[in-house]
Amino acid sequence: MNAIKAVMATASRADGEDARAREARWQRDRLPPRVRELVLDDQRLRNDICWSVFDPISS
């Protein structure tokens, strides 16, 4: 989550959402498939309390 927030903070205002999606996708692409499903489930559960940083991102 911190890396995603950092990427958004350093991106231009117009590119913030794209930067968030790219970083989240980059992180998810490096997870083993079984772990990825656990991470995605956890992110769905915590999204509301994490500033919506995990809003749906196409995987």
- Average pLDDT per run of 10 along the chain, which is 59 residues long? 80 84 89 91 83 65
Residue 39: per-residue pLDDT = 86
Domain with 34, as residue range(s), is: 2-49
Residue 8 lies in a domain: yes
Are 14 and 26 in contact, with CB atoms under 8 Å apart?
no
Look at residue 19 and tell me if it is in a domain: yes
Residue 14 falls within a domain, yes or no?
yes
- Tally the domains of the chain: 1
Contact 53, 47 (CB under 8 A): yes
In a domain, 54, yes or no: no
Q: How big is the CA angle at 38 (ends 18 and 34), to the nearest 5 degrees?
A: 100
